[in-house]
Amino acid sequence: MGQRIVVKIGSQVLCDPQGELNLDVLGSLVKQVSQLADDGWQVLVVSSGAVAAGSGIAEQRLSRVSDPVARKQVLAATGQVRLMETYRTLFEQNGLTIAQILTSKSDFQTRRHYLNMRGCIDALLTTGIVPVVNENDVVAVTELMFTDNDELAGLLAGMVNADLLCLLSTVAGVFDGEPDEPGTECIETWDETKHQADDIVQRGTSALGRGGMHSKLATARKTAKLGTRVVIADGSDPGILVKVTGEQTAGTHFPALGEASPAKRWLASADDHAAGYVTVNAGAEAALLDSNRLASLLPVGVESVEGTFNSGDVIQIRSTSGKVLGCGRARYNHEEARKLKGQRGQKALIHYDYLYTEEQE
């Protein structure tokens, strides 16, 4: 299997100031993806831009639609057709075939859905077809929306075990202050012991898309800790993808810091839409967060069980103070878990192989 890269292209990269698709930038990026494919990379593209593309088609017809959610859905539904046709034409000109994948957060909630989507994407990448993925804005509602496509790109990078995630923005990378101020520099390599994400964002690095630089930093740091190298770079820079996959310096790099199992990569994507949660005592909390131990969550450490969940569902683990410690795949359903809580000599509620803690992030 060749190296895999996930390339996220935001709406501000794709569109000009008037909201129209920037065909020059888009054409350049497609050409670079083609070059990567020729060099043996398997490329997955995460693309925004459907709503923006739809505004050039359906805007004048929306006078009868007063609901803002419905208006966005109309723009997304019409714009997605235009966006994908543009991609199809450009990729075809470069000798590549694309496939459209629309997804929502619910596709990451159950292990079965997750594995089904991963199987499809794996097959496409193996055959040299370029998957173009976008959030399904037509059906997405607030509780089922990704924070933005940065988050989606990070989840997909974990799903396909990508070697590199490239988040393309409209700035050259992460700056250590205001980009326009004298003395401000682009951070070439992110260092968790040196750089503080909150300080960087508060000093005003950029306001990009729905999530801004705060979201890009959060996605980059989490993805790197799960074992995928990440770059935040300027999507309008000619040859940017060739630079970040080669030896040239461009953007801000986040070195891969670990290697999570496929199961834990899935759990990392499911930690904010769990089916229920358990509260654990101080002893269980200490054991789970001890990096020197491989600890499962045993019923004896559980103080309370909340929510309705089945065996195999993802549940959150919380401390007595309410802090989220992590999540895992439940061995028991909620009724069995309540019966067994506090008991010794029982099989683990969450086995270590299916346990993801914040310390691992």
Distance CA 324, CA 330 (A): 16
Structure-block tokens of residue 54: 């739809």
pLDDT per position as a tens digit, 17-48 = 777 788 999 999 999 999 999 999 999 999 98
Give yes or no for residue 95 having a pLDDT over 90: yes
Give the residue from 126, 124, 130 showing the smallest Cα distance to 36. 130
**Do 297 and 288 touch, CB atoms closer than 8 A?**
yes
Give yes or no for residue 1 having a pLDDT over 70: no
pLDDT at 211: 45
Whether pTM > 0.95 for this model: the answer is no
Q: Which CATH architecture is the domain 271-360 placed in? A: Roll (2.30)
Those residues with Cβ within 8 angstroms of residue 89's Cβ, 6 or more apart along the chain or in another chain: none
Structure-block tokens of residue 205: 């690095």
At 122, is the pLDDT very low, low, confident or very high (cuts 50, 70, 90)?
A: very high
Question: Residue 261 CB: number of other CB atoms within 10 A?
Answer: 13
- CATH for the stretch 4-260: 3.40.1160.10
Q: For residue 5, give the 3-state DSSP assignment.
A: strand
Q: HEC profile for 38-81?
A: HCCCEEEEEECCHHHHHHHHHHHHHHHCCCHHHHHHHHHHHHHH
Cα Rg for the chain, rounded, in angstroms?
A: 22
Q: For residue 333, give the 3-state DSSP assignment.
A: coil
At 70, is the pLDDT very low, low, confident or very high (cuts 50, 70, 90)?
A: confident
* DSSP secondary structure string for all residues of 228-268: -EEEEEETTSTTHHHHHHSSS--SEEE-------HHHHHHH
**Do 133 and 44 touch, CB atoms closer than 8 A?**
yes
Of 33-42, 147-156, 197-206, the poorest mean pLDDT is in 197-206
* Dihedral, CA of residue 287, residue 289, residue 293 and residue 297, to nearest 10: 50
Contacts made by residues 250-253, CB under 8 angstroms, sequence distance 24+:
250/172, 250/173, 251/172, 251/173, 251/186, 252/173, 252/174, 252/186, 252/187, 252/188, 252/189, 252/190, 252/220, 253/188, 253/189, 253/190, 253/229
Those residues with Cβ within 8 angstroms of residue 165's Cβ, 6 or more apart along the chain or in another chain: 5, 6, 8, 153, 154, 157, 219, 220, 223, 228, 229, 230, 231
C-alpha 292, offset from chain centre: 28
DSSP label at residue 174? -
At 361, is the pLDDT very low, low, confident or very high (cuts 50, 70, 90)?
A: very low
Which one is predicted more confidently, 145 or 121?
121
Give the dihedral sign, CA 215/221/227/231: positive
pLDDT per position as a tens digit, 316-337 = 999 999 999 999 999 999 999 9
At 214, is the pLDDT very low, low, confident or very high (cuts 50, 70, 90)?
A: confident
pLDDT per position as a tens digit, 280-307 = 999 999 999 887 888 899 999 999 999 9
Name the amino acid, one letter, at 287.
Answer: A
Could you state, in order of their start, the residue ranges of all structural domains in the chain? 4-260, 271-360
Q: Do domains 4-260 and 271-360 have the same CATH topology?
A: no
Give yes or no for residue 208 having a pLDDT over 70: no
